[in-house]
Amino acid sequence: MAYFILRRALQSVLTVLGVITVTFFLVRLAGDPATLLLPVEATNEDIARLRTALGLDQPLIVQYLKFLANAATGDFGVSLRQRTPALDLVLERVPATLELALTSFVLGLLLAFGIGLLMRLSTSARLRTAIMWVALARQAIPVFSFGLILILIFSVWLRWLPSLGRGTIQHLILPALTLATYELALYLRLFNASLAVEQRQDYVRTAYSKGQGRTKVILAHMLPNALLPLVTIAGINLGLLLGGTVVTETVFSWPGVGRLIVQSVSQRDYPVIIAGVFIISLIFVVVNLLVDVLYGFLDPRVRLS
Amino acid sequence: MRALRPSLAFALLLLLGIAVLVAIVPLLPGYDPYTQNLGASLLAPGDRSLDGRLYLLGTDTLGRDMLSRLSLAGRVSLFIGFFAVSVSLVVGVGLGLIAGFFRGWVESVIMGIADLQLSIPRVLLLIAVAAILGTGVFKLALLLGITSWVAYGRVARAMALSLREREFVLSAITQGATPFWNIRKHLLPNVLPQMLIVGSYELGQIIVLESALSYLGLGVQPPLPSWGLMVSEGQTYLELDPWLSVLPSIALFMLVAGVQITSQSFTAENDMSAEVVKAP
């Protein structure tokens, strides 16, 4: 088990290293930061002076190693617009993003669990088909369109919920619902499939032969076993959800890391972009690592593969 | 589960609607996605402007005909989608077959890159790259293509692993066939049908990604329309003129749902044949 964790941790470190390496070289590919920083009327001497000051006159590999050394101490440079350390700007926004992502994650699981159970317990095939159709239709609507439709219904027409910003629990409902429902169709299908697998197991037949009712068998016997795959996939998808926050945050003006990155892109604020990409991929990788390790504990077969 | 599978007919109907929008609408009289008419801005669908012209789906803030813009946006999205799918198919199949056929360090390197790419959210990767390299339809299509090869690569590699042990490949090797001849003549034709199925699924994904990037202002740039961009332009007027955002959303839904259901019906057939083989 220790070996398994160590190997996965090493992989994660390599991934984050890979991500910031790619971003670093992409930024250098985009052009000389010195010309971007200075006004148009700057002379060649000005540019040369700034290049020396920023260390841009050194070989690329030296610059890269310096960048890595600085990044290791949390120094991603200073925001070109706000003149504050880029990493601080990003870290300020992390709680908002985590709040949205975790709420959506839990809400998504609860919805899948509740609706999936309803589908299994109900005897109406028509109801089950209808639910599945709605979930599939939801999956075909992009995040930003769905968010806008929710705003239109609940903020503009019904005036029940605020359409943008962060603060109260009401602000959280629409963005969280937008993200939580995206994978619902997948979760429902998975939950149904694993319930169907459990249904064929011997212990279920034993329970029925003891004279237990359908509801009791499903709730007490099949459910605990069928939940594990659902939780695993949801855990794996927590990363994807993190990607989805980028768009959702923009739709609802949610002050998170994703929105900061998008805003920094339009302002060409490269240090903030790099720091933001670093933080999101760091969260992504840590989450994946935790899910893997947790699953290694729960299901020992995983460790061997 | 069979009864739950959405019908293919419905999906084809949606796609037919999109086909009419992108292929027939530009042939209609009055097709004009660019000309601004400030005297006729923000007309509701079916309204007539002061000079008596009928706007079937209304106009946007600058008085441009919504129907024409939706049509052109569809063409842009479909172009980007098909172009990106072609690029990623070529890159993915190529790398996947090479990894699966040669094995060893070549496989480790290629699959390592694939794992690395999977460990970053794709939207984030695209935002970072688009931010730095700039945007434009062609660049966007290329970018989406290059970053989407992993799905094909993994499947192609898995298939190549089993194909390389088959007799027809082994016999070709003993008769002196070069690896690349084998990959081209024996492996490629065998994996291609499967790859096209992956491609049909990916088409929907790519179009969603493109529209999301355009929504964020990092994709298709004005004055060229894109459904995602139109949704974002309309968001400011959501209260009074909701159709500005709703119409492109409907178009996106029709295309994405149509593509997804159709591609699912391909995979469903495959799944069923797999089940038949497994059944005792």
Highest mean pLDDT among A127-131, A170-174, A245-249, B47-51: A245-249
| Total count of domains within chain B | 1
B35 within domain boundaries:
no
Instruction: Specify if B161 maps to a domain.
Output: yes
Domain interval for residue B71:
67-278
Where does the pLDDT of residue B273 fall: very low under 50, low under 70, confident under 90, or very high at 90 and above? very low
Residues 6+ apart with CB under 8 A from A40: none
Could you read off the pLDDT of A75-115 as tens digits, one per residue? 887 777 777 888 888 898 899 888 898 898 889 888 888 88
Mean pLDDT value across residues A180-187 = 82
Residue A260: partners with Cβ closer than 8 Å, 6 or more residues away: A89, A90, A93, A272, A276
The mean pLDDT of A182-209, rounded to a whole number, is 82
Contact across the interface for B119 and A281, Cβ inside 8 Å: yes
How large a percentage of chain A has pLDDT more than 90?
0
A149's enclosing H/E stretch is helix A143-150
Confidence of residue B95 (pLDDT cuts 50, 70, 90): very high
Helix axes B137-146, B122-133, angle to 10 degrees: 140
A-chain CB neighbours of B204 within 8 Å are: 140
Q: Is B47 helix (H, G, I), strand (E, B) or coil?
A: coil
pLDDT at B41 over 80: no
Chain A residue numbers with beta carbons less than 8 Å from the beta carbon of B131 are 264-265, 268, 273
Residue A291 has pLDDT above 50, yes or no: yes
pLDDT surpasses 60 at B42: yes
Asked if residue B79 has pLDDT above 90, the reply is yes
Q: Given a cut of 70, is residue B277 above it in pLDDT?
A: no
> In the prediction, which pLDDT does B244 show?
86
DSSP class of residue B43?
P
Looking from the CA of B182 toward its CB, the CA atoms found within 13 Å total 23
- Per-residue pLDDT of B174-231, as tens digits, reads 888 888 888 888 888 888 888 888 888 888 889 988 999 899 888 888 888 889 989 9
Q: ipTM score here? A: 0.80
Q: Which of B51-55, B116-120, B206-210 has the lowest mean pLDDT?
A: B51-55
Query: Is some CB atom of chain B closer than 8 A to the CB atom of A136?
Result: yes
Tell me whether residue B5 is in a domain. no
- Asked if the structure places residue B6 within a domain, the reply is no
Q: Are A135 and A188 in contact (CB under 8 A)?
A: yes
Residue type for position A84: T
> Residue B179 and residue B177: Cα distance in Å, rounded?
7
Give the nearest chain A residue to B259 (CA atoms): A140
Q: How many residues make up chain A in this entry?
A: 305
Of the ranges A26-35, A288-297, B185-194, which is most confident? B185-194
* CATH code, domain carrying B219: 1.10.3720.10
Give the pTM.
0.82
Shortest distance between the Cα of A178 and any Cα of chain B, in A, equals 14
Listed residue (B123, B220, B119, B221) closest to A261, CA to CA: B123
Quick one: which H or E segment has residue A50?
helix A44-54
pLDDT of residue B84: 93
Q: For chain B, what is the mean pLDDT?
A: 81
State the pLDDT confidence band at B89, using cuts at 50, 70 and 90: very high
CA B264 to CA B258: how far, in whole Å? 10
Band the pLDDT of A37: cuts 50, 70, 90.
Answer: low
pLDDT recorded at residue B250: 92
- Residue B276 one-letter amino acid: V
Beta-carbon contacts of A1 under 8 Å, excluding residues fewer than 6 positions away, are A296, A297, A303
Rounded-to-integer distance, Cα B152 and Cα B196, Å = 9
With a CB-CB cutoff of 8 Å, which residues 272-301 of chain A face chain B? Answer: 273, 277, 280-281, 284-285, 288
DSSP 3-state of A104: helix
**Confidence at residue B88, expressed as pLDDT on a 0 to 100 scale:** 93
Residue B41 within any structural domain of the chain: no
Residue of A nearest to B125 (CA): A277
Residue contact A148–B249, C-beta within 8 A: yes
Whether residue B7 has pLDDT greater than 50: yes
Quick one: average pLDDT of B107-117? 83
Distance CA B208, CA A141 (A): 9
Q: Is residue B29 part of a domain?
A: no
Indicate whether B232 belongs to any domain. Answer: yes
pLDDT, residue A302, reads 57
Question: Considering the domain boundaries, does residue B175 fall inside one?
Answer: yes
Which residues 6+ apart lie within 8 Å of A122 measured at CB? A128
